[in-house]
Each structure stands twice: as C-alpha cells, then as structure tokens.
Structure 1
Amino acid sequence: MNKKQLLRLIGSAVCAVLPFWLLDLTLRAATGCAAWYPLYAAAPNLFSLGFGALFAALCLLPRRRTVGRVLYGLIYAVWAVYAVVQYSIWRIFDRFLFLSDFLFAGEGLGFAGYLRQLIDVRFVLVVVLLAVWGALGVWRLPENLPRRRVCPAFAVFFALTQLVAPRLYAPVPETLDWDAWQSSGYEYERFSSSAYDLALTGPYQFVARDAFLSVLPDADAAEKRAQIDAFFEERPAHEDNEMTGLLAGKNLILVQLESVDDFVLNDENTPTLARLQREGINFAEFYTPQYSNGYTFNTEFAAQTGIYPYANGNVAYSLSRSAFPYAIGNLLAGEGYTANSFHKSEAKFYNRGAMHQAFGYEQYHSALDYAEDELQAGDDRFLVDCDELYDRMVQTQPFADFLITYSGHLGYDEIDALTTYALGEFPEYKDDSRPYEINGLFAKARLTDEMFSHLLTRLEEDGLLDNTVICVYDDHYAYGLTDRAVLEAYSEAAGGRLLERTPCFIWYQGCTPQTVTKTLQTVDLLPTLANLFGLPVPDTMGRDAFDESYAGYAIFPNGGWLTDKAYAKNGQIVWNNGMTDEEVSQMNAYARRFQEVNDAILDTDYYADKAE
C-alpha cells in the first residue's frame, strides 16, 4: 500500500467515524455542557471517537455496501433520536435522562403534545444538524476497504479509548474535602449528576457507564452501613419539644399538590388553600430539591420516606421490594390507622401500586377506575365528589389518607384538553394581559382549590373536620411553563429565593396560626409529622422542623445547598449573608456527605432489619 492509498484509507475511515463524533459535539454544545466540562477536553471526544469507530466497524463488516449503509443509518438514527430526546429533556429540566428514567416513558407519552411548545429555531437547527451528519455518514461510507485490517483496527482503537480516556480526568482526591465533586475523576466514579456526567463522557459513554453501574454488584455494603450508622450517631438525637404529640390520635389527610407553585397559591387563584395556609402552620421557606427526573414521584418518595431518590436514576421500579418501616403510612398503620392513597393515574405509573404498599398504604386508588373518562378523572374535585372514593378515605377511623392531585399538571396551552376545560369552568382567568400558559396554570389550580373546598364541606357534614389534620405540600415548581423568563419573574415576585421554593403547611380546626421561617426541604416533612403525631422520630435524612438543634437547610443534587444565610451552587457561593469561610467549607463537606449517606441507605436497604 503506497502513501496515496494509505491517506485515502485514513480519509475514508475518518469519514465513517466523524458523524458520530459530530452528533456528540452538537448535543454537548446545544445543551451548555461546556459550563460543566470543556467541549474540547480530550476524554469525552476520545470516548465518542472510539464509539464511532466501533459503530463504523460493525457497518463495514457486510460485504455489500448497501447493507452496510442501511446498518449505518439505523445505528445513527437510534442515537440521533436519543440525542433529540435528551435535548428536549434538557430544555425542560436542565438535566438529562439516565437509563432507568426511561422507565417513566409511559407516563410521559400522555404529555407528548407539550413538546411541541419547545420547537423553535434552536430546536430545528439541532435536529437539522443531526440529520446532516447522519446523511453524510451514510453517503460517504467507504467501500472496497480491507475489512480484515480496518475492522480489527477500529475495535482496537475503541478498546484503547476505553482504557485511556478515564485516565485523563483529574485524579480523585485522597481526602474527599468539600470540593471533591469538582474533581472530574470523582464525578466519573460517582456518576450522579446527569448534566456533569454527559459533559464528561459524551452520550455513548454516558449510556455505557450508566448501564455498567446499574448492574455492578455492591461490594461495600458493610462499609456503607457503618457510614450510615456513624452519620446518625454524630447527628444530635431528636428531643421532644413544645410541638411533640400536638396532633396525636387525629386523622391525617396528606395532600401532594401538582404544580401549585408559591406564586400560584394566593387569594385570587386558590382562596381555600390560601385561607388554610394563613390559619395553619405555614412553612414559608420549604424547598423541593429534584433528585430524580420523575419530578412528581421524586417528591412523593422523599416526603413519604425522609430519603431522597437516587440522583442518577429512579427508585419506583428498583426499590419497590425494599423496606421502609419509617414511611408515614407504615408509622401510622402501626398506631392502628387505616391508610389509603388516591390519585388520578393508574397504579402502574411510577409503580405506585407496589411503592405505596411499601410506604404502608393498604391500597392505591386510581380515579380512572371510577370516572367516566380521563377528563373527569383529571379534575381533582372528582377525588372528593365521587362517593366511592370519598367513602374509602373516611370509612374507618383513625384514617391516614394520601392524596396526589393532578389538575395542575402540564401543559397549559390551547392544545391541552384539561386547560381548555379549566378555563371553561373559570372564564375569569381568561386575561389577555397575561401569557396564555399563566391563565391555564391558574385555572387548573382553581380546580385543585375547589377540591379542598368540597373536602372541608364533606368532612364537616360527616362530623370529621374537628378531628382531622390536613397537611399540604407541592411536588415541584411549575416547570411546565415553557417561557423560563415568565416563570422566574412570577417566582421572584412571590418572594422566592429559588425556583424550588414551594408551599407547605399544616391545618386543623382550632390551630393557632404560625409561620416557620427556617429553611426546610422535602425530607423534613416525615420527621416533622412524626413529632407532631407523637410517634418516634426515625433516623432518616430529614429533621423535625421544630427541633431546636436543627438550623435548617436544603441539599440539592448538583452539590448545591441553601441555608438561612447563604446559597451555594455547583460548588460556588452565589450569595452569602453572614456565613464565615469555615462555615461555608463545613456546609460544602456536609452536603457531599449528606448525598453519600442518602444513597448508601438506598444501596443497602438499610431499614430492612428494622422492619420487624
């Protein structure tokens, strides 16, 4: 082979590999991955070139070029679709899907129309570029190459990239100080932040490593259990306080709102909820960090168990057989309560049929099993107006009911049937001076508010209101608004320090109104309720809001944290109103440890031996 032939061979090989690398580069550039890890960094580019070589080798194996082109097109198309899906998810959530998150696809398909609102010039440009790279690859796929030489060479190159690329990351610190997460090597091993991880690896290695870690056996279970024990032993033990046992023996109706954000809940949009918030115990600085891409179930799991789900996947399917003896349902069932849960969706969504049993609820009730159609089931008022459902809530005392509302779910545009229905029910929200989506969100929230109005009426008529506690919290901020600037403006006007601030309050007849300004997070709800109901406060990641030894904080999955005094994001202090450098360093270290212990609890089924 002369020099000219060798150059032609190399050129042909590059043409076969390049489109897969360009797909990766397009995705990382379009989604702002450079903010996490440079686009030009060697490791992710090597990974993608290596996978490109592997895919090209597979396509060069067939003797007929036509067959190879078809195979090339199929492989590329799968990854192009994957890239478009991840780009769409990033546009909504500023994060990406791990493999386990795709188990939620059935839930997401019902709202596929919402994605139409994402289509703009940027979206079209990304799709066109991905299509162009694929077309070039199919067109330029070489023929008459010495397959016996080229294909093994490509395979060897792929293997080398797998060996070399991970060694190009920054070394894992010998001592994991507060800023350990900034080490690319540490994050590659931990693989918990989807945005950071895709920036580190590119899409192909992102999937491969995610799959590898999903099946990797846990050889450190004993060490992790010791780490958990040490964490709880070092933390101040819970002590009784003036709120301990205040609500003991009362019925509980725990309600998780859907997208009723802090700027949505007010006298105009939700008069009943606003009244209950004023008259009850209002947790004014309550935050809902989102560890899993299943935002609703993320909060559902955290509130019920006092533990956050994995940041790199879901727990709805992987942990349905784990033991959660300290979940709210189990704690109250142990005190003789009859516990049931209620929501619009079928039991298979988020595996609620199994998960709610693990939380201690006797049965999960879907409104779809009782409604005439999906639209009726989507109206939250139906949960209370349907006699069969309401009877199951209150038929046996003391009862503990868990209601998950639905009406506020995205989307909020003209093509969403429930939005059209809500605006028809409440035409006063057709305000041309506001974005249509805001009108839709507010009208949908009014459906939820009327559910509470009907619930209070029925409880009073049945003589149950005086002995019933209603605890309300939100699943997440209203991320379904497609105009981020509008969302941020409304949230800021409502006084929120972060988008993640959401409503949370407890109401009961005769409650002395009070406002708790301590910074709290979703996992704090379980121990707070346990204390109020006079139950043993379990060792979970959350703390009792009324515990004097608890200063209050929220820990976010990207390594950030929030206290009353400061906010840190991606390892950097965003604002600081009084914390010393030493306190900041300690909080950074604590946030990292918090997440490690949280995941270790899930990894080891830590509470299994405490279930008896």
Structure 2
Amino acid sequence: MKGTRLQKPDTGLGRAVPYLPLLWFPAVIFCQELVVRCWAFGAALDRGIGFTLLFSLALGLVCDFFCCLWGERGNRRCSVVLSALLTFWLLVQTVYFTIFKTFLTVYSLGGAGQALQFWRDILAGVGEAWLPLALLLAPPAVLCLFGRPFTPKARAGRRTLIWLAACAAAVQLTGALAVNASTAGVLSDGYLYSETFVPDLSVARFGVLTTLRLDLRQLFFGSEPESGPTPTVVPTAVPGPSAPPAEPTAAPEPTFAVYGENTMDIDFAALAGAETDETLKKLHAYFAQVQPTDQNAYTGRFAGKNLILMTAEGFSRFAVDEALTPTLYRLANTGFVFENFYNPLWWVSTLDGEYVANTSLIPKPGVWSMYKSGSNSMYFCLGNQFRRLGYETNAYHNHTWDYYSRDISHPNMGYVYKGLGHGLDVRATWPESDLEMMELTVPEYVGEAPFHTYYMTVSGHMNYTFAGNAMAYKHRNAVASLPMSEGPRAYLACQMELDLALESLLRQLEAAGELENTVICLSADHYPYGMEKFQLDELAGEDLDMRFDVYRSTWILWSGDMEEPVTVEKPCSSLDILPTLSNLFGLEYDSRLLMGRDVFSQSPALVVLSDRSFITDLGRYDSKADVFTPAEGAAVPEGYASEVLRRVNDMFFYSKLILENDYYAKIGLAVEH
C-alpha cells in the first residue's frame, strides 16, 4: 500500500507528506484564475497566462506551507479556511466585474454598506455570472465534502516546511524577475508590476490574487515615482473645430494667432528652487515644463451667463432620440456638437466619473478620489470659481445625499448641497425621478441671477428592467413597440425621465426670462454598463467595439442664445469639460494644473482611458493588446505612441500627487468657504 501513496520520506524530522495535497492549492488557484480570466476577458491563453501561472504556483505553495503546520484536523480546517477566503475574493471580483465592467479595489470595501442599497444589481450580477461562480465554488465544496485526500494527514517536519518555503520564494522571485525583465511594448509588464497600479490591466496580466497584493501594496505603502518631471506635450498639430457643411456657425471660427495663454501668476521654477520637500519639488518642476493652452476666439464666449452643469447617470449617445427624447435631441444638435467625445469608465464608476468632469484630474485607483478631495483646496472646481465671482452656487442629487460621501466632497467644491434626506424631498423610489428633482429645485435659484447649479441625476441608473426600475416602468408604454429586448427598451424608458427633467428646466428658465442667458452642460458618468453586449449592440444598431467605441458618447454644451450649431470634430473626453468651460466663461485658471485641455485650444487631442489606452488625432493605442493603430491616412512619427504614453503616465502620476498632497493649497490657491 505504501507504494501507492506517493509520499516522500522526511528523514526523521517529521511525518511524510503526500504529494497530492501539495498539488491541490497551486492547481486550484490557477484554475480559478483561468475562470475569472475567461469570464472577464473572453480568453484564457493570452499574454498574461505565464505570469498568472507563476504567481498562482507561488501562492499555492504558501497555502501548502500553512496547511502543513498542524495535525490532520487542523490541516483540513486551515485548507478550508484558506480556500474559502481566496474563493470569496474571486467570487466578489467576478460579480463586481459583471456589474461594473471593472474590478473592485480594497479601499472600496469600506463602502460595502452603501453598496448594499443596490442589492437588486448584485442579485442580477449573480444571476448573470452563475456559471463562473459555480466553477469557482466547486473546489471549496469538494474540499469540504471530500477533503481528506487533498489535505496533509499530519504536521510536516522541518525539512518539508523549509522545502515549501524555499520553493514558494523561488517561484515568486522567478515570476517577479520575469515580469520586470519584460520591458517590450509601449506599456511594459515590468512598468505595470513595479511602478504603477492599473487594476484592470493588472488582473489581465498577473491575475486577480496578485492584483490584490499589488492593491494592498499601493494602499499602504504607495508606489514609486512613475516618471520624472519631463516635458509631456506631443508636438502634433490638430485641426480646430469646424462648422457643419453648408451651414454658417453662430460663433466665429477659432484662430490661433494673437491670443494669450490660460495661466495664472505662478512661478513654478522659482517654487521648485526654494522647495525642500522632494515631492513638492517634483510637482513644481513638472508644472514648470507643462505647456499651457492658448486662449482663442471662444475665450469668454459665455462670460456673465448662468451655468447649469449636469452629470447624468448612465446617459449615452444611445439615449438621444428625436421621437423618444426630443429635448435631449434638441440640446445635443443645436449647440456645440462634439462628434468624437468619450466618457471613459473609471474604477469607482459614477463617483470617479463625477471627479473627472468636475476637477479635470484623473482619479487615483484604489481610493474614492472625490471623497479624498473633500479636505483639499479644489480651487478650480466651477462651484468655487463662480462663487468667487458672486454667483449663487447650488448642487443637487436625487438619491441619498451622503452616498459616496458627497455631503463632504460637494460643499468643498463650492456648492450649497442638497440630496434625498437632506433638503431635497423627492419621493424615495428606485431610482428616484429627475423630473421631480427639477420641479422642486429650479424655483430655488432661477431669477437669482447670476447662478451656477450642479446636478447629479439618478433616473438612468440600472438595472434596466421594467420590474426593478421605477422610471423604466413609468415610461414602459412609450417603448413597448420598439424592436428590442427588454434591457434596451427599459434603458430608453428611464432616460425619458431625464428628458422630461430637461424639458421642465427649459420651460422654467424661459418663464423666468433666463433661457437665453443660461448655458447647459451635460455629460454622463459612464456608459450604460448595466447591459450585455448584445443589448448595447441593439441600442447602437451595429456590432459595437467594446474597447473604444462603447465609450463614445454625447456631450451637450448648449446656450440659449446660440442660433446655429457648431460642430467639433477634435477627439475629446470628460477630462476636458472643466478647462473648456473655464475658457468659455472667461474664468481665471491655470491650464498647466489641469490634466484635460480646452477643446477649442490648439493643444493636441488626447483621450485617456482608465487602463491607459488612448485616442489621438493620429490613432488609437490599446493597452490590453499593447498595439497602436494609426488613423486612416495618418503619418505617425517614429516613437509617437511611446511619447504619448509618457504623457499619459505623467497625467496619472501627477493627478495622484495633487490629490495626495493638497497641491493647490500648497501653491497658495486656498479656498474659503
């Protein structure tokens, strides 16, 4: 019988340990990683499979070590506990990705209590991902029911433990060395592993559990500098906005000859020379070299007007329909018409989407950047900018007022903030009504010119079903005849509530005589990820590209005094909203301190996604495939993609440093509330 047990003598230092239990954890962890990889990315055998194998093997050997420290019963209990913990994190990530199309960070676990408000979404995610969830649960179930063959029968001896520890360390070291030696490509594996943290790419290249380790590292210890303070502007000329063919524009065509720059009186070089703190010195030196954007024919175009700024939940270009959403259609097609506007999906979905549009900074992965900014000087946020000019500044959200800690962040942006449960008495349906919010709030500020108001809507929130979405149910009859499945029809139905809210807004502004004196700016927090691809394809009427085109959206920028639309073909994104509005309203701001750019400036086009993919006028870089694809007919200089990526990396890095160091206050841009 001993010949069939496949055991190795331990030379008197302890009992022999069968080989089968030592294979259990490495094999199971790797197989579970493959399940998540297939579910999230559609393939298992891709670029990151080798690194995932090495790191899974190392973690499995660590688990083996701890499961050999006790007697038979203790080893089995340890195996079950470790398997349960690892499987739980993989399950959570699978459900989270299914719902939000990104991966959960450790920091966001602190908001788990608030997230439970969306239990319907969680149940829907579980239902959609039932197959990978079942596969992930199979190993711990087998371990609980038939665990004896898969757990060591006795406490291992010293030599076995040393052997396990040495093997784990050797495999981990091999994996780390292999990753850091992988420097090929535009965004190398070594850079991604050692110098930055990009959750989605990290999972794709190293696995879920290694990403957890990297997440904990950056959460508690930060990360090393990603790049030094180098010039980041790529000298590529881009065309300015153009008018629709055969139609004159209401505003003059931009020229770039005799205008000044959007800067403030800040001498970054002098600040760097006098600074002793190395981080602040790095920040000063970097911004001293950033090229500011120019003023242009649109500078001050809206000076003195009122501004209503809106982040619309789940809004997209698919929601703009002449018959179903006529007000959205009117606003989207009679103001500035941005043909190539993108709404990237960031890590904390709605909250990060708000942060980008309101700050023109890239969120820090792994934290709630908007909440973290609540104790910083947010000098350039429009609430603070307009308040300094004497405007009345209000903000409203028709869901729970302290969700995502908006009760901290939004007053800090310069607003008198109200939400459900604190000053805004909308009915507590799910989701709540945008129309009801508009009818209740507009009378609070209209007629008190000048005013600037910010709205975060909620009617367009998933799930997109008629049974679980009050707004979709309200408008179900209007979409009943559409040749689509329930998800797309329910999505359009709940966006009709946003359309009615805007119709009410325009009506009230006109009645108060303020319509021609008011600018409306609306963009989404993210695309409607609460639908499967085939449903998004139904809305788009085509086979949608899920790497780039799914993020292409509609940016409404409309003024009541515009007589003709102005078409803008330059690629742009939500990161560009704040500097563009600051320029249009003639506000004093320093374009060097924002990561986005005024769309009407001569600055090169650059759209950045959360995984560091990017779009310029010359092409697209896909970081997952590590491939740059030139635009049709574009002449791309040698090394162009690497040069643009260097700027992209700087944007991520210095956005993080601004947030972490309250940088605007450190250079004297303090805000008094």
TM-score range, shorter chain: 0.7 to 0.9
Q: Hey, what's the Cα distance between the residues in 1 that align with 2:113 and 2:544?
A: 36
State the 1:147 CA deviation.
Answer: 5.5
Output the amino acid matched with 1:590: R
Q: Would you say the 8 A contact 2:464–2:531 is kept in 1?
A: yes
Match among 558, 564, 582 for residue 637 of structure 2: 582
- The alpha-carbon distance between structure 1 residues 316 and 55, as it changes in their structure 2 partners (threshold 3 A), is farther
* Residue of structure 1 equivalent to 2:8: 6
Q: Hey, what's the Cα distance between the residues in 2 that align with 1:31 and 1:434?
A: 25
* Residue of structure 1 equivalent to 2:36: 27
2:551 aligned counterpart, secondary structure: coil
Output the amino acid matched with 2:392: T
Match among 560, 575, 599 for residue 509 of structure 1: 560
State the 1:440 CA deviation.
Answer: 0.6
* Residue of structure 2 equivalent to 1:97: 104
State the 1:404 CA deviation.
Answer: 1.1
State the 1:525 CA deviation.
Answer: 0.7
2:217 aligned counterpart, secondary structure: helix
Output aligned runs, 1:26-425, within 5 Å. Answer: 26-32=35-41, 34=44, 37-39=47-49, 41=50, 43-63=51-71, 65-118=72-125, 123-138=129-144, 139=147, 140-146=150-156, 150-151=160-161, 153-171=163-181, 179-181=185-187, 183-216=188-221, 225=280, 228-229=283-284, 231-290=286-345, 292-366=346-420, 370-371=424-425, 373-375=427-429, 378-386=432-440, 389-394=441-446, 396-424=448-476
Q: Would you say the 8 A contact 2:68–2:154 is kept in 1?
A: no
- The alpha-carbon distance between structure 1 residues 266 and 197, as it changes in their structure 2 partners (threshold 3 A), is same
- The alpha-carbon distance between structure 1 residues 252 and 285, as it changes in their structure 2 partners (threshold 3 A), is same
2:663 aligned counterpart, secondary structure: coil
* Residue of structure 1 equivalent to 2:503: 453
Q: Hey, what's the Cα distance between the residues in 2 that align with 1:510 and 1:124?
A: 53
Output aligned runs, 1:495-534, within 5 Å. Answer: 498-512=549-563, 513-534=565-586
Q: Hey, what's the Cα distance between the residues in 2 that align with 1:172 and 1:272?
A: 52
Cα RMSD (Å)? 3.2
* Residue of structure 2 equivalent to 1:486: 535
State the 1:165 CA deviation.
Answer: 2.7
Q: Hey, what's the Cα distance between the residues in 2 that align with 1:455 and 1:395?
A: 13
* Residue of structure 1 equivalent to 2:611: 558
Residues 238-260 of structure 1: per-residue CA shift (max 9 Å, x gap)? 33322222222222111111222
- The alpha-carbon distance between structure 1 residues 26 and 417, as it changes in their structure 2 partners (threshold 3 A), is closer
Q: Hey, what's the Cα distance between the residues in 1 that align with 2:478 and 2:223?
A: 57
Q: Give me the TM-score of the superposition, normalised by structure 2.
A: 0.80
- Per mean C-alpha deviation after superposition, the further-off stretch among 82-91 and 578-587 is 578-587
Residues 292-325 of structure 1: per-residue CA shift (max 9 Å, x gap)? 3222112211111111112454313444323221
- The alpha-carbon distance between structure 1 residues 574 and 237, as it changes in their structure 2 partners (threshold 3 A), is closer
- The alpha-carbon distance between structure 1 residues 270 and 231, as it changes in their structure 2 partners (threshold 3 A), is farther
Query: Any gaps of 5 or more consecutive residues in structure 2?
Result: 10-15, 226-275
* Residue of structure 1 equivalent to 2:243: none
Q: Hey, what's the Cα distance between the residues in 2 that align with 1:558 and 1:219?
A: 19
Output the amino acid matched with 2:655: N
Output the amino acid matched with 1:208: R
Residues 172-214 of structure 1: per-residue CA shift (max 9 Å, x gap)? 75xxx9x451x21111013432232124433333212211211
Q: Hey, what's the Cα distance between the residues in 1 that align with 2:296 and 2:200?
A: 42
Q: How many residues align?
A: 596
State the 1:457 CA deviation.
Answer: 1.8
Residues 270-309 of structure 1: per-residue CA shift (max 9 Å, x gap)? 111211222322223211122x322211221111111111
Q: Hey, what's the Cα distance between the residues in 1 that align with 2:386 and 2:482?
A: 48
Output the amino acid matched with 2:138: V
Output the amino acid matched with 2:515: L
- The alpha-carbon distance between structure 1 residues 498 and 219, as it changes in their structure 2 partners (threshold 3 A), is closer
Q: Identity of counterpart residues, as a percentage? A: 24
1:110 aligned counterpart, secondary structure: helix
- The alpha-carbon distance between structure 1 residues 457 and 199, as it changes in their structure 2 partners (threshold 3 A), is closer
State the 1:459 CA deviation.
Answer: 2.3
State the 1:543 CA deviation.
Answer: 1.1
Residues 533-552 of structure 1: per-residue CA shift (max 9 Å, x gap)? 111232301111111x2232
Q: Hey, what's the Cα distance between the residues in 2 that align with 1:206 and 1:499?
A: 25
* Residue of structure 1 equivalent to 2:261: none
Q: Would you say the 8 A contact 2:371–2:405 is kept in 1?
A: yes
* Residue of structure 2 equivalent to 1:594: 651
Query: Any gaps of 5 or more consecutive residues in structure 1?
Result: none
Output the amino acid matched with 1:437: G
Q: Give me the TM-score of the superposition, normalised by structure 1.
A: 0.88
1:534 aligned counterpart, secondary structure: coil
- The alpha-carbon distance between structure 1 residues 284 and 131, as it changes in their structure 2 partners (threshold 3 A), is same
Q: Would you say the 8 A contact 1:191–1:197 is kept in 2?
A: no
- The alpha-carbon distance between structure 1 residues 275 and 217, as it changes in their structure 2 partners (threshold 3 A), is closer
- Per mean C-alpha deviation after superposition, the further-off stretch among 602-611 and 451-460 is 602-611
* Residue of structure 2 equivalent to 1:472: 522
- Per mean C-alpha deviation after superposition, the further-off stretch among 90-99 and 251-260 is 90-99
- The alpha-carbon distance between structure 1 residues 255 and 145, as it changes in their structure 2 partners (threshold 3 A), is same
State the 1:435 CA deviation.
Answer: 0.9
Q: Would you say the 8 A contact 1:225–1:601 is kept in 2?
A: no
State the 1:150 CA deviation.
Answer: 4.5
Q: Would you say the 8 A contact 1:340–1:362 is kept in 2?
A: yes
Residues 218-254 of structure 1: per-residue CA shift (max 9 Å, x gap)? 7869565555545544444333322222222222111
Output the amino acid matched with 2:325: T
Residues 465-519 of structure 1: per-residue CA shift (max 9 Å, x gap)? 343221111222222112x033135336599971111111222222133222211
Output the amino acid matched with 1:142: P
Q: Hey, what's the Cα distance between the residues in 2 that align with 1:494 and 1:402?
A: 35
- Per mean C-alpha deviation after superposition, the further-off stretch among 107-116 and 78-87 is 107-116
1:472 aligned counterpart, secondary structure: strand
* Residue of structure 2 equivalent to 1:437: 487
Q: Hey, what's the Cα distance between the residues in 1 that align with 2:137 and 2:164?
A: 24
Output the amino acid matched with 2:36: L
State the 1:166 CA deviation.
Answer: 1.2
1:416 aligned counterpart, secondary structure: coil
Richer in helix (by share)? 1
